[in-house]
Structures are given as structure tokens and as C-alpha cells.
Amino acid sequence: MDYTLNIRGRLLDLSEPLVMGILNATPDSFFASSRQLTEADIARRANQIIAEGGRIIDVGACSTRPGSEPVSEADEADRLRRALTVVRREQPDAVVSVDTFRPDVARMAVEELGADIVNDVSEGSEAMFRMVSRLRVPYVMMSVQPDLRQTLLAFARKVQQLRSMGQKDIILDPGFGFGKSLQENYRLMAEMERLEVMGLPLLVGVSRKSMIYKLLNSTPDDCLNGTTVLNTIALMKGASILRVHDVAPACEAVRIWRKVEG
């Protein structure tokens, strides 16, 4: 399906899949190589994402890896202020997403620092729904449900709730790695094209996650190949956005998939 997102009055075309590059302004993300702690590191990473073909920079400042303890809201906001200021200075025309589950942090990032998209790694609270509807920015809603049926039911209910509040642009994230066993992750991937019944773009984030390295008896550092394989499958299953650590390989996967699709 062909989708567009309204990014502050500009239409972002999703008729061909886009790559979202991860920028972690946090010292404790599960993939150590993704941590950008200094202003120079943040600038380098923002520029790298765009240079390698990424269209969206996803900035996060609170690790949500399994078993992690979220930092305080104040600390998350301070990290984002520093990171987003650098990203906007380096890439003023880039589409920037803020990765947060806190409504007030989302508001600050959008209103004060120019974030374009809110990427919520929870299933979405009513407070967050009210906030993004007021901010009028595209919203990524993730599922922590274990299977396709429950994922569809939860998405249908929450999309209706968001629509009733006036939210226009909604992106669905099946939530690979969240609330699912290894087997459940792969079963959901196998059936993911059935989520297209929702009529909304799909974001897939499997980059270097445990569903890959546990299956392959590996580590996050050693599973780029597995990530690329799953990203390619996700494209075949209808993904509109790939959220990744490794932008260049993901962009190559998109180019090859496009050639196959003609």
C-alpha cells in the first residue's frame, strides 16, 4: 500500500520503504556500539545516518532493553535536549523521531526541539494519546502482545481511540522483542502481512535483537547478517519503515527488494 506522513506540512512518501537510523543518547542501550554520549559522537552519528541513506533519525535517551531500569524523566529530557540540539544543528532538514513513552518528554521534544515523529515503545497510554493528538505529529504505536490475533485486537481498539481524539498519522510497530518468546517473535514475523488489514504503515525494528542472537547462539555484535535477513523478510511482508542500527546494509536490502519487486 502507498502511504504518506504529514511532517510539519511536508508529505513524507512511504510508497517505497524508508530506513530509520537509531541514535541512542544513552550509556546503557543493549547494543554497546550504538551508544552516542558526547556531542561529537551524536553529530557524527546523525551525519552518518543521512549519508548512508537513512531518511529518519530516531533519537532515544532512555533504554528500554529487557530488564533495564528507566532513567528519570528529568534525566531523559536533559539527554534529549542535548542530543536533539546537535541533531538539528547538523541535519536541519532531516526527519527526526523521538523515542519515548513519556507524554511530557514527547511534548518537549516536539515543541521545543523540533522533533517530527513520536515513537512510543509502549502500547500507548491515554495521556500519550491525548498529547500526540494535540501535537499533531505522526505517532508510532507498538504492540507487546504475543501473537497476531491479540496484536490485531489491541491495534484496532487503540487506533479507534486515537482516531476519536483526532489523530491523523498512525504507524504500527508489531513490537518484535517485546512481550514475546523467541517462537512468538518468529511466528508473528511469518504472519506479519496480515497486519496490512489495518490500512496503516508498518514499522519493523529487529536490529541486532535477541530473537536473532539467541537463535544463532551469538551476540548483538555478531548478528548483522541475521538482521539483514530479517529486514528483507519484513520488506516482503509489507514493512514501510525499517528501524536499524546499521543503515547502509538496510538501505541495500531495500534497493534489492525494490529491484525484485520491479
Q: How many CA atoms within 13 Å lie on the side-chain side of 91?
A: 25
Assigned C-alpha cell, 12 = 513524507
User: Annotated catalytic, 130?
Assistant: no
Catalytic residue among 45, 102, 209, 237: 209
Catalytic residue among 55, 102, 180, 243: 243
Q: How many CA atoms within 13 Å lie on the side-chain side of 242?
A: 35
Which letter does DSSP use for residue 204 in this model?
Answer: E
The Cα-based distances of 56 to 28, 139, 203 in angstroms read 22, 14, 12
Q: Which residues contact 40 (CB under 8 A, 6 or more apart)?
A: none
Compute the C-alpha angle 240/220/183, nearest 5°.
65
Across the strands, what pairs with 95?
Answer: 56
Backbone CA torsion sign across 146, 150, 151, 155:
negative
Assigned C-alpha cell, 39 = 556531542
Strand runs labelled E in 174-233: 203-204
The CB density around residue 155, as the number of other CB atoms within 10 Å, is: 23
Segment holding 213, helix H or strand E: helix 210-213
User: Annotated catalytic, 180?
Assistant: no
> C-alpha 61: how far from its chain's center?
13
Q: Are 28 and 62 in contact (CB under 8 A)?
A: no
The catalytic residues are 209, 243
